[in-house]
């Protein structure tokens, strides 16, 4: 269990580094248009995606397509993606089109 938590922390740290690098290279920019309503909508979209993916993974596990270890790895990956997505939404960061720059 400790190794799984350590891997989650490493993956989250690496994801934050990637966001930081993308921000400084100009591929991701802060948007002043990110209102609370829009942030809430983006959080709901993320949550719906995570729930649907969870049901899909549980279905695969129920039909014995995946093992317990694979299910834990996929759940850990989804957790990291959810945390990173939530951070991006709360900071109001968006992708920037190269043609707009």
pLDDT at 64 (0 to 100):
79
- Distant-in-sequence, close-in-space partners of 74: CB < 8 Å, separation ≥ 6: 57, 66
pLDDT at 99 over 80: no
Answering whether pTM is above 0.75, one says: no
Could you read off the pLDDT of 58-81 as tens digits, one per residue? 887 778 777 777 777 777 788 888
Question: Is residue 100 pLDDT above 70, yes or no?
Answer: no
Q: What is the DSSP string of 78-94?
A: HHHHHHHHHHHHHHTEE
Give the pLDDT band of residue 1 (cuts 50, 70, 90).
Answer: low
N-terminal to C-terminal alpha carbon distance within the chain? 45
The pair of structure tokens assigned to 51 is 């729930």
Alpha-carbon span 94 to 52, nearest angstrom: 24
Q: Is the pLDDT reported for residue 3 higher than 70? A: yes
Residue with tokens 């490493």: 10
Give yes or no for a contact between 28 and 45, defined as CB atoms under 8 angstroms apart.
Answer: no
User: pLDDT digits over 42-62, tens only?
Assistant: 888 888 888 888 888 788 777
């Amino acid at each position: 269990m400790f190794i799984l938590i350590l891997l989650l922390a490493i993956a989250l740290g690496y994801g934050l580094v990637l966001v930081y690098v993308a921000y400084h290279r100009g591929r991701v920019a802060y948007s002043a248009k990110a209102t609370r309503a829009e942030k809430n909508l983006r959080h709901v979209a993320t949550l719906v995606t995570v729930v649907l993916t969870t049901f899909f993974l549980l279905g695969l596990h129920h039909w014995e397509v995946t093992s317990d270890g694979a299910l834990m790895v996929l759940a850990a990956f989804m957790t990291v993606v959810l945390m990173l997505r939530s951070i991006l939404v709360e900071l109001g960061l968006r992708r920037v089109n190269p043609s707009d720059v």
